[in-house]
Amino acid sequence: MATATLLGLTVLAPWGAAPASAATVVTYPAPPGAPTTGQYAVSVGGRSSPVHPTGLGAFTNFSFGGGPVAVTVTTSKDSPTAVLRPRDAAVRVTRLAPRTFRFTIPVPGSYSFEIDPDTDTYPPLFLFANPLEVGAPTGNTPTTRYVGPGVWTVDGAGQIVPGASGPGGTYAVPPGTRLYLAGGAILRGKIRIGADSESGPGADGTAVTGRGIVDSTAVIDHGRPLRINNSTGVTIDGPIFLGQKHWGVVSRRSAQVTLRNIKVINWRDDDGTGTPDGIDVVASRNVEVDGVFVRSYDDGIAIKSSMSDGAWAGSTSQIYVHDSVVFNGRAGNALEIGRETGAPITGVSYENIDVIHKLARSDPYARDAISIFVRDGGDVSDINYRDIRVEECQERYLGFEVTGSGSLTGVDVDDVVFAGPPRALPTVVAGNPNGLLDDVDFRGLRFNGGSTLITSPSQLAFVTNAYATGVTFGP
């Protein structure tokens, strides 16, 4: 098969000896000095694709289009039970030889290759199979800051400079501009859109795009690789965000925000502390989260109306999260609304999402795969879950709870499937004397991988109380 090199990228092109239907594959060589791992080696369409280690597994990053692509993975440990998740993708893994596996990815997406059911003992390999880029920039323009392949650092003055010197700082995207991170680029530092002050100016009409990596673990104050503050008309499309200790990608008091095809991996600090969420939407409106991947130790994707300390409070509305994959760790919830609910939250939809893991921590049954937790005085309403698949859940399946003076009303749960048996873990719907919980409708709730339809709470390990009313189950 013929190859071509464009801007430092290796392109597997559909000409020469390859059949006319062969996919076009773009891989992104790792820059000199980038961390490596001996656990995995990857070939995509016959071309090596570098593997990058993180605190929660390794990843490889490539783009393709024009047809399915074959992937070969060599591991440092053999396994008779290797799988590719989400299982809904129905990709069969073939063991070619000891420690060598092959499978075919049919369409772009994010996948988790796992050779050990204990993902702590032998962490997975995440495959970020992007669609081919169209119209990508090739250099700086008056409205585009171009960051090409290689290692870059945000210096103390907030400028992006070549090399890996210094602890890394924060780059502020100017209003009306785009930061483009080419595949093969690793940016050491953080990105900020809008001022960090609650009363500060935003940066409207901004974008961060490309196939590069933002590594905020290089910053002394780990985490928060991307913050969107007080801004309107923001698009984040394509990059990988690595974080540690703090929340990951955060939108605060912003509107008309699109998070598309981003990947967030966020783990605890070296001392085992922190609240490393994946994506947090806080006091924002008209936000679309489309085709993302999250591997987090704490909450996966969370919708809130303030920060944990009550700052940045405000109403949250019209949030649409869809076509995404979440691997939730040992704290927090996979798909969360709350706990910070000091102002109203309304019009939230989670649709077509694979929760491939919800792990447990030392105090089991404290967190959920699907969670609404109204802790404060805000009212939460018009919430929809549709076409959700939960593959592994080690804590509670689902928890809808009102513990504060706010309310929870108008929740529709349609076509949600859990892999486990219905009585294995709790399903909780509960209010309190000061907080109303009403009108929760379950339709097509299934367990045992879809074979067991729930039409009555008696089929579940169901926990409720007299303050939860209007809870119904049906086919």
* pLDDT per position as a tens digit, 361-408: 776 557 999 999 999 999 999 999 999 999 999 999 999 999 999 999
Provide mean pLDDT across the span 145-164. 97
Q: What is the pLDDT of residue 363?
A: 67
Of the candidates 300, 372, 371, 353, the one whose C-alpha atom is nearest the C-alpha of residue 330 is 300
- Does 26 have pLDDT greater than 50? yes
- pLDDT averaged over the chain? 93
Q: How confident is the model at residue 10 (pLDDT cuts 50, 70, 90)?
A: very low
Cβ neighbours around 107 below 10 Å, total: 12
Smallest CA-to-CA distance from 416 within 361, 470, 473 is with 473
Each residue's pLDDT tens digit, 71-124: 999 999 999 999 999 999 999 999 999 999 999 999 999 999 999 999 999 999
Q: How far is CA 290 from CA 261, 263, 293, 301, 317, in A?
A: 6, 11, 9, 12, 17
Burial (CB < 10 A; 0-12, 13-18, 19+), residue 449, is middle
Distance, in Å, from the CA atom of 316 to the CA atom of 254, rounded to the nearest integer, reads 10
Place of tokens 């032998």: 122
Cα(219)–Cα(154) distance, rounded to whole angstroms? 9
Percent of the chain with pLDDT over 70: 95
CA 429 to mean position of chain CA atoms: 26
Please give the model's pTM, rounded to 2 decimal places.
Answer: 0.94
- What distance in Å separates the CA atoms of residue 288 and residue 28, rounded to the nearest whole number? 28
- DSSP state for residue 393 in the 8-state scheme: B
Which band of pLDDT confidence, cut at 50, 70 and 90, is reported for residue 5?
very low
- How sure is the predictor about 222, in pLDDT bands with cuts at 50, 70 and 90? confident
Residue 364 confidence (pLDDT): 59
The token pair at 128 is: 């970020």
